[in-house]
Amino acid sequence: MGYLNNAVVTVDAILTTKGRELLARNDASFQITQFALGDDEIDYTLYNPNHPSGSAYYGEAIDNMPLLEAFPSELQIMKYKLTTLPRGTSKLPVLDLGYAAITMKQGAQLSITPQTLNYLGNEQIFETSGYSATIGDVRLLNTFVGQGIQTDAAITANQNATVTIGTSVSKTIIGTQVNLTATTINTLFGANAQLRTTLTVTGLDSGARITVPLTITRQTLTS
């Protein structure tokens, strides 16, 4: 990872880790259909309306901030996507999963229904296009399925929702409800009593995002 020269206009485009994974499958699952813009690196607290040189310099510190070159981890970049909200919006949408952290025993099942707060007034707490949910290591789940959305993108994402290939790979599904079942494979644990990964949920309309830790606890059988 390095810095870009912000004195010139630079387009630095690379594939994310997930994109490389899909490309390596060579099964036509790699298709670029959309793009998003983000401002992860910008610290807006540096905007200074009291700058002694006047309004033309209010954003000088922001303009001079270094820009990071693109890097492939989708879990570390594009966390804060730019989105369009109605004029007059005073609060940004935030996601609520009902959990600050998730702990499951082997074989346990869990259904999560994300809600979007501060979105389209107080009358609607779900998003019409649904939510994308990404598990950091799909091996930790026997099933990982999205329900409630029947768009082409959702159907494609939810096909073969859990494919364990023996290596730590992420998996993304789409829905208004996320259903998951913890792994029952003891050999994944080795000598560990717990396995840990993350669950990241993003609102497809609002752009709001939340990441929570997910822990799977090994079940010890007693006679």
Helix runs in the chain, H state only:
17-25, 60-63, 152-158
pLDDT score, position 107: 93
Does the domain at residues 94-217 carry the CATH identifier 2.60.40.1080? yes
Q: Which residues of the chain have pLDDT under 70?
A: 1-3, 9, 73-76, 121-124, 153, 156-168, 221-223
CA gap 133, 24 in Å, rounded: 22
pLDDT score, position 223: 44
CA gap 191, 41 in Å, rounded: 39
- Read off the pLDDT of residues 105-136 as tens digits, 9 standing for 90 and up: 999 999 999 999 988 766 668 888 899 999 98
Neighbours of 1 (CB within 10 A): 10
- Read off the pLDDT of residues 135-168 as tens digits, 9 standing for 90 and up: 989 899 999 999 988 777 677 666 655 454 556 6
CA gap 148, 154 in Å, rounded: 9
Tell me the two tokens of residue 22: 């899909």
> Residue 214 — φ and ψ, nearest 5°?
-125, 125
Domain boundaries, the chain: 1-81, 94-217
Distance of CA 173 to the CA centre of its chain: 11
Tell me the two tokens of residue 129: 């296009």
> Residue 112 — φ and ψ, nearest 5°?
-120, 130
